């Protein structure tokens, strides 16, 4: 507790004794009268005299309190804001104790009340006095933690943290939240006394530092821009506070200017610094709310592309959800794809220029109030090979425009060349029907079928991106080697093992045990597994998860995949090789229901091998042997095996390997085949003001980490002519959540009662005053003084009525 005029307390102590003196020296003179019927008065004399004395004492007490309150008010006591409530509680308990004491005194001396009543009163009084004593001791013991920080003119070590997350782009009254926040921050900085240390921080992730002076701090505030990959406020605050708490200045203040949306306040990482801040009650913490109570917004969800890599005659389908906060409305969604322009991007006059011509498609959708609508746009053009950038956006005005568009990038290539190899007598048409269906003229693959004999005569597989070995029979060592070379060079190989691999007594043919074959097969064939009962207990494909890219198409229907429509009766067991020398990445993609592997993948060199332990070429009925499975014969219900086959085909040609769409802030990494692409690239950011950055190939990849702006990132290199690649960076729609943080969540971050919440400048000023000079008791004391005067007036009038 601090006092404005502590000297007055001493004088006041003397003044309080005045009513006592008056009480004894100038007791009121009674009116003298003659009264004959005295004997009726004498009987009550004792009781009434005590009551009278009590009344006088009460009056004296009231007058002492009156003077005491006046002296207290003039002495100007104040306590730290966070202690104010506790002092009020202490005052309240003391008041109750005083009232109980007075009532007990009256009751005891008047003789009217019985002993039980007095006993109850005395017990209550004892309890309340005990409580007041305990609370008082605790309060005085705790008082150091709520020290006051002197007057407004003392230099301050201040942290001004601006929330620069994307939601701060929300416009209200033609002003974004960030602009308003910056205005308030500048105003706050200008208020700081000369000599103050000011750290302006944002959630962009910069290292916190003290500005040279106030003007530098203002310039720093003016330079702050929206952070599309923001850190959370608690994280930033923890880092910045670590700097500010070391300041030698005694007075420290923290200002957090935010729209108080939930995403920005998520607690993550170490809480140690925040706990120190919460415990240091000498630090004034102010949260300035520049948010909007009832926002309205359109937002676009993450894009879902049917494929990231299409062939020249392929099509791409883009779907997304359109979300609405606010009243029902209609909006147009537009898909645009940039037309190829090898002259762009280019820097002119210090500014990057991007292709301007686009294809576009639009769709109008109706969205319910606070609802969601789906949009699906198909794009098909005859495109030359290359990388294409597209964008889906909600057309029209929106207070928060930052989440109205999503970017995508896809690659167009020539159709992949696929070679299907099968022994004579094995029908491999299923592969063709999956990867290059005759009915579609725009298949991603161009398929060539040959026999196993033909394969053994071939010298190279360079012209094929994918080779499918369908139920292979024994192969020569050279053929296995040729297949390995094909994979090592980046080609894809899919092997579907079947009855042709069996030698004597159904055991594997020895040719499958040579080292190259085992390398490609990921291990040694062991025995054939037969299901216990073909009709009731067949094996089923039973993937443990759908994370693998081959299984990606199943993700949308994960709960209703009809695996049971494709029963498997026999498959080859594979004993994995130890693979200790080369440590080739190997994994099981799909298991059977008995946990034996059904589909295994292995990365060898630049290419991939996928081995299926049961064939896909089995006819339904055979005369000389039992069929191994029913994967080939699919109908509308038994589509799962076809989807797996399709996934295998795309996987081995690396159709979806490069992540062409990333989230803002993530590192983009593209495979850089030096046979096709240059070694170094110039990366153009979506921000045309930003100069292109040069990146080189490292480990076969080209990486770029400064993806801090949503949009298209274009890689421009040169071989014989300009070569263009690129990728897109998008905001995570989940990170743009306008939901406001609840007070208890804010309490968890900053500590309950440890911060002052303000919206307007005058509120900030008042809160600053409370934190710096504490909460003054003057108004409260004056009110109590007024009440005491009134009571004294009433009591004295009542007692001395003539």
Binding interface with other proteins (CB under 8 A): 28-45, 48-49, 51-52, 55, 798-802
At its nearest, how many Å lie between other proteins and the CB of residue 24?
Answer: 16
CB of 796 to other proteins, least distance (A): 11
399 φ, ψ to 5°? -55, -35
Largest pairwise CA distance in the chain: 150
Nearer Cβ to other proteins, position 31 or 116? Answer: 31
- With respect to other proteins, which residue has the nearer C-beta, 52 or 544? 52
From the number of C-beta atoms within 10 Å of its C-beta (0-12, 13-18, 19+), residue 51 rates as middle
Print the SS3 string covering 603-623.
EECCEEEEEECCCCCCCCCCC
3-state secondary structure 250-316: CEEEEEEEECCEHHHHCCCCCCHHHHHHHHCCCCEEEEEECCCCCCCEEEECCCEECCCEEECCCCE
Nearer Cβ to other proteins, position 32 or 457? 32
Q: Which residue, 55 or 663, is less far from other proteins as judged by CB?
A: 55
Nearest to other proteins of 115, 801 (CB atom): 801
Q: What backbone torsions phi and psi does residue 746 show, to the nearest 5 degrees?
A: -65, -40
Residue 788 CB, shortest distance to other proteins, in Å, is 22
Q: What is the dihedral of CA 243, 244, 246, 248, to 10 degrees?
A: 140
Contact 415, 444 (CB under 8 A): yes
Cβ-based burial of 217 (10 A; exposed 0-12, middle 13-18, buried ≥19): buried
Q: Closer CB to other proteins, residue 38 or residue 424?
A: 38
| Residue corresponding to tokens 């190279």 | 460
Name beta bridge partners: 424.
none
Nearer to other proteins, 34 or 636 (CB): 34
- The answer to whether residues 362 and 378 touch, using CB atoms and an 8 Å cutoff, is no
Find the shortest distance in angstroms from Cβ 11 to other proteins: 32
Nearest to 287 by CA among 735, 763, 772, 737: 763
Q: Give the N- to C-terminal CA distance of the chain in Å, as an integer.
A: 46
CA distance linking residue 526 with residue 507, whole number of Å: 7
**Considering beta carbons, is residue 59 or 764 the nearer one to other proteins?**
59
Find the shortest distance in angstroms from Cβ 59 to other proteins. 12
Least CB distance from residue 105 to other proteins, whole Å? 16
β-pairing, 570-576 with 523-530? antiparallel
Of 150, 151, 214, 225, nearest to 186 by C-alpha is 214
* Residues contacting 486, CB < 8 A, separation 6+: 461, 462, 464, 467, 493, 607
**Smallest distance, Å, CB 795 to other proteins?**
12
Indicate the residue among 24 and 35 with the shorter CB distance to other proteins: 35
Nearer to other proteins, 40 or 762 (CB): 40
- What's the closest the beta carbon of residue 67 comes to other proteins, in angstroms? 24
Residue 207, classed as helix, strand or coil, is: coil
Closer to other proteins by Cβ: residue 32 or 294: 32
Looking at the Cβ atoms of 659 and 796, the one nearer to other proteins is 796
For residues 159 and 105, what is the distance between their CA atoms, to the nearest angstrom?
Answer: 56
43 or 689: CB nearest other proteins: 43
Q: Return the HEC string of 189-206.
A: HHHCCCCCEEEEEECCCC
Q: Which is nearer to other proteins, 54 or 757 (CB)?
A: 54
| Cα(403)–Cα(712) distance, integer angstroms | 15
DSSP string, 468-515: EEES-----HHHHHHHHHHHHTT-EEEEE--GGGB-GGGPBPGGGGSH
Contacts with 465 (C-beta within 8 Å, 6 or more apart), sequence order: 416, 417, 418, 491, 492, 653
CB of 7 to other proteins, least distance (A): 39
52 vs 223, which CB is nearer to other proteins?
A: 52
Question: What torsion, rounded to 10 degrees, do the Cα atoms 477, 478, 480, 484 define?
Answer: 130
For residues 679 and 775, what is the distance between their CA atoms, to the nearest angstrom? Answer: 67
Whole-number Å distance between alpha carbons of 81 and 526: 78
Using CA atoms, how far apart are residues 640 and 630, in angstroms rounded to an integer?
A: 11
For residue 27, the minimal CB distance to other proteins (Å) is 9
- Least separation in angstroms between residue 41's CB and other proteins is 6
303 closest CA partner among 345, 337, 261, 340: 337
Comparing C-alpha atoms, which of 265, 259, 301 is closest to residue 172? 259
Quote the CA–CA distance of 461 and 463 in Å, as a whole number.
6
CB of 767 to other proteins, least distance (A): 51
Q: How far is the CB of 29 from other proteins (least distance, A)?
A: 8
**Exposure letters 495-505 (e unless 16+ CB within 10 A, then b):** bbbbbbbbeee
Cβ at position 108, least distance to other proteins in Å: 17
What is the smallest separation between the CB atom of 25 and other proteins, expressed in angstroms? 16
Would you say 34 or 424 has its CB closer to other proteins? 34
Could you give the 3-state DSSP secondary structure of residue 545? coil
Given the complex with other proteins, which of 55 and 276 has the nearer CB atom? 55
If phi > 0 it is left, if psi is from -120 to 50 it is alpha, else beta; for residue 258 that is: beta
Residue 789 Cβ, how far from other proteins at the closest point, in Å? Answer: 21
Q: How far is the CB of 55 from other proteins (least distance, A)?
A: 7
Closest contact distance (angstroms) between CB of 46 and other proteins is 11
Question: C-alpha angle 274/279/280, rounded to 5°?
Answer: 100
């Amino acid at each position: 507790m601090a006092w404005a005029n502590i000297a007055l307390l001493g004088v006041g102590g003397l003044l309080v004794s005045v009513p006592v003196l008056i009480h004894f020296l100038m007791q009121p003179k009674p009116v003298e009268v003659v009264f004959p019927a005295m004997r009726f008065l004498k009987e009550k004399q004792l009781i009434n005299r005590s009551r009278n004395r009590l009344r006088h004492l009460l009056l004296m007490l009231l007058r002492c309190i009156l003077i005491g309150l006046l002296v207290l008010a003039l002495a100007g006591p104040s306590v730290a804001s966070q202690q104010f409530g506790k002092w009020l509680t202490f005052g309240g308990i003391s008041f109750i104790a005083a009232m109980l004491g007075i009532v007990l005194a009256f009751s005891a001396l008047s003789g009217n009340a019985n002993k039980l009543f007095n006993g109850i009163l005395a017990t209550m009084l004892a309890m309340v006095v005990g409580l007041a004593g305990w609370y008082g001791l605790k309060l005085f013991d705790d008082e150091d933690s709520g020290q006051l920080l002197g007057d407004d003119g003392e230099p301050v070590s201040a942290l001004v943290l601006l929330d620069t997350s994307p939601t701060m782009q929300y416009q209200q009254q033609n002003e974004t939240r960030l602009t308003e926040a910056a205005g308030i921050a500048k105003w706050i900085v200008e208020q700081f006394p000369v000599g103050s240390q000011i750290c302006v921080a944002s959630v962009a992730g910069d290292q916190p530092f003290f500005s040279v002076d106030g003007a530098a701090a203002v310039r720093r505030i003016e330079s702050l821009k929206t952070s599309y990959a923001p850190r959370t406020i608690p994280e930033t605050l923890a880092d910045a506070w670590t700097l500010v708490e070391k300041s030698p200045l005694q007075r420290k203040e923290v200002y957090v200017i935010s729209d108080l949306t939930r995403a920005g306040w998520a607690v993550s990482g170490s809480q140690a610094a925040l706990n120190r801040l919460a415990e240091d009650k000498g630090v004034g913490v102010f949260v300035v709310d520049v948010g909007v109570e009832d926002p309205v917004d359109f937002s676009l969800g993450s894009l879902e592309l049917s494929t990231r890599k299409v062939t020249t005659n392929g099509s791409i389908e883009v779907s997304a959800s359109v979300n609405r906060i606010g009243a029902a409305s209609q909006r147009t969604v537009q898909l645009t794809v940039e037309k190829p322009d090898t002259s762009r991007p280019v820097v002119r006059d210090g500014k990057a220029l991007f292709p301007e011509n686009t294809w576009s498609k639009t769709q109008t959708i109706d969205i319910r109030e606070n609802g969601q609508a789906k949009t699906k746009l198909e794009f098909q053009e005859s495109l030359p090979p290359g990388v294409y950038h597209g964008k889906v956006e909600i057309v029209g005005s929106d207070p928060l425009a930052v989440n109205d568009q999503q970017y995508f990038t896809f690659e167009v290539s020539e159709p992949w060349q696929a070679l299907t190899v099968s022994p004579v007598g094995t029908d491999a048409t299923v592969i063709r029907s999956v990867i290059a269906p005759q009915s579609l003229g725009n298949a991603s693959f161009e398929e060539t079928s040959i026999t196993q004999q033909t394969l053994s005569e071939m010298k190279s597989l360079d012209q094929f991106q994918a080779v499918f070995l369908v139920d292979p029979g024994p192969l020569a060592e050279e053929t296995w080697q040729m297949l390995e070379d094909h994979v090592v060079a980046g080609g894809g190989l899919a092997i579907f093992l079947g009855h042709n691999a069996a030698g004597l007594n159904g055991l594997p043919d020895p040719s499958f045990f040579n080292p190259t074959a085992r390398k490609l097969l990921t291990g040694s064939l062991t025995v054939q597994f037969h299901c216990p009962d073909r009709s009731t207990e067949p094996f089923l494909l039973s993937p443990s998860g759908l994370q693998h890219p081959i299984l990606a198409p199943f993700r949308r229907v994960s709960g209703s995949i009809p695996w049971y429509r494709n029963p498997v009766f026999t498959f080859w067991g594979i004993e994995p090789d130890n693979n200790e020398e080369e440590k080739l990445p190997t994994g099981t993609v799909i298991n059977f229901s008995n946990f034996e592997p059904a589909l295994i993948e292995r990365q060898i060199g630049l290419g991939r091998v996928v081995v299926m332990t049961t064939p896909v070429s089995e006819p339904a009925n055979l005369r000389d042997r039992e069929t191994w499975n029913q994967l080939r014969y699919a109908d509308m219900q038994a589509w799962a095996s076809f989807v797996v086959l399709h996934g295998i085909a795309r996987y081995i040609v690396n159709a979806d390997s490069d992540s062409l769409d990333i989230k803002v802030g993530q590192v983009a990494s593209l495979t850089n085949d030096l046979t096709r692409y240059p070694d170094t690239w110039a990366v153009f950011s979506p921000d045309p003001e930003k100069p292109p950055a040069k990146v080189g190939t490292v480990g076969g990849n080209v990486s770029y980490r400064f993806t801090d702006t949503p949009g298209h990132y274009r890689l421009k290199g040169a071989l014989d002519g300009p070569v263009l690649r690129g990728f897109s960076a998008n905001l995570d729609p989940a990170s743009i959540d306008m939901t406001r943080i609840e007070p208890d969540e804010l309490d968890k971050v900053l500590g309950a009662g440890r911060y002052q919440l303000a919206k307007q400048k005058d509120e900030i000023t008042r809160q600053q005053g409370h934190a710096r000079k504490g909460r003054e008791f003057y108004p409260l004391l004056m009110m109590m003084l007024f009440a005491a005067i009134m009571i004294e007036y009433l009591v004295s009038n009542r007692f001395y009525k003539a």
